[in-house]
Structures are given as structure tokens and as C-alpha cells.
């Protein structure tokens, strides 16, 4: 991704590029926190990491974060809302796969890690995606023996029907 100078970028572009960088890092090491100041340094904005990080957190794009005020650094981990900002097609596709799989047996709880397309995902990625679907109200979740089981809700069924109508 070509990097513009910070002078030519507006706040939205800086936030989106930071989210894209966090998303890329999350693909490398799912669930880890990353110091955004190292990325912002490439834009000449290292001293702004606190402000940018807090703005991302306020917008609801971070799963977790930690501020190191004395070092002017900001460690953060992206959540599904943040990923949806930079990779909406991937989030939409995974949502469709999960909800359609759950819809095949709507009364049953399914092991999230066994749903097609999710077998290779790390636990942190599965948990974050489940959190996103729960927040939308599309699934119910239940954990047993260190596994996460999910079931389609009525709201999830309605969402699927609406998607079929649109398609």
C-alpha cells in the first residue's frame, strides 16, 4: 500500500491506514497487540499515536489497547468492527458462511471451529468473530470443554432471509 505524506492525508485516511496496518498484523499473529506508533512513524506521526489510538478506540474499532504515555506509544489489537472497516467483503463472506451453516440445523449448537472456512482460524480470531456476531444479535453462544458452540438466533434467520431477498 503506498503511503502518502501525513500532510496530504486527512484524519479518516490516517485512521483507515492504521486499521489496515493493524489488520495486516492481526493476520500475522492473531490476537496480538501492536504498537501503532511504529506504523505512524512512517507517516511522520509517531507523536500522535495516543490521539489516533484513542480515536480508534472511541469509534469501537479496537478489541483492547494499552497506552504508554512515557514512551508515547500505543499498543492495540483490532476487533471485528475495525476489520469490517478495512476488509468488509471478508467479514461479509465469513458471516454468510457461518450463518448459512448454522441455518442448516437451526436448533443445534455447532462447534465454531468446525464450521467450513473457520477450521484454520486461531482461537483469538474465532472468539473475536463470535463476539461480533453476538453483538449483532445473530447468534447465541455456549462454551463447553474449552470449545465455543454457536446457534442461529431468530434475528440471524431474519438477516439471512433479507440477504437472500437482496441477492
pLDDT in tens, 118-133: 777 777 778 888 888 9
36 pLDDT band (50/70/90 cuts)? very high
- From the list 59, 81, 72, the residue with the least C-alpha distance to 128 is 81
9 pLDDT band (50/70/90 cuts)? low
pTM, two decimal places? 0.72
Q: pLDDT > 90: what percent of the chain?
A: 37
Close Cβ partners of 89 (under 8 Å, ≥ 6 residues apart)? none
- From the list 135, 134, 18, the residue with the least C-alpha distance to 77 is 18
Taking the CB of residue 100, how many other CB atoms lie within 10 A of it? 15
State residue 144's pLDDT score. 86
Burial class of residue 161 in the structure, from the number of CB atoms within 10 Å of its CB (0-12 exposed, 13-18 middle, 19+ buried): exposed
State residue 151's pLDDT score. 95
Q: Stretch 11-23: mean pLDDT, rounded?
A: 90
Q: Is the model's pLDDT at 167 over the cut of 60?
A: no
Q: pLDDT > 70: what percent of the chain?
A: 93
Q: Is the model's pLDDT at 3 over the cut of 60?
A: no
CB 117 within 8 A of CB 97: yes
Q: Is the model's pLDDT at 117 over the cut of 80?
A: no
Amino acid at each position: 500500500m503506498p503511503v502518502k505524506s501525513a500532510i496530504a492525508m486527512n484524519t479518516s485516511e490516517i485512521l483507515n491506514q492504521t486499521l489496515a496496518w493493524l489488520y495486516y498484523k492481526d493476520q500475522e499473529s492473531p490476537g496480538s497487540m501492536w504498537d501503532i506508533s511504529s506504523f505512524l512513524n512512517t507517516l511522520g506521526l509517531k507523536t500522535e499515536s495516543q490521539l489516533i489510538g484513542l480515536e480508534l478506540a472511541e469509534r469501537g474499532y479496537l478489541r483492547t489497547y494499552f497506552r504508554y504515555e512515557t514512551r508515547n506509544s500505543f499498543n492495540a489489537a483490532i476487533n471485528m468492527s475495525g476489520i469490517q472497516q478495512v476488509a468488509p467483503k471478508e467479514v461479509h463472506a465469513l458471516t454468510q458462511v457461518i450463518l448459512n451453516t448454522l441455518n442448516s440445523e437451526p436448533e443445534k449448537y455447532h462447534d465454531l471451529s468446525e464450521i467450513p472456512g473457520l477450521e484454520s482460524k486461531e482461537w483469538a480470531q474465532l472468539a473475536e468473530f463470535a463476539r461480533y456476531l453476538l453483538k449483532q444479535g445473530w447468534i447465541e453462544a455456549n462454551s463447553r470443554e474449552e470449545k465455543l458452540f454457536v446457534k442461529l438466533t431468530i434475528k440471524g434467520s431474519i438477516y439471512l432471509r433479507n440477504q437472500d431477498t437482496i441477492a
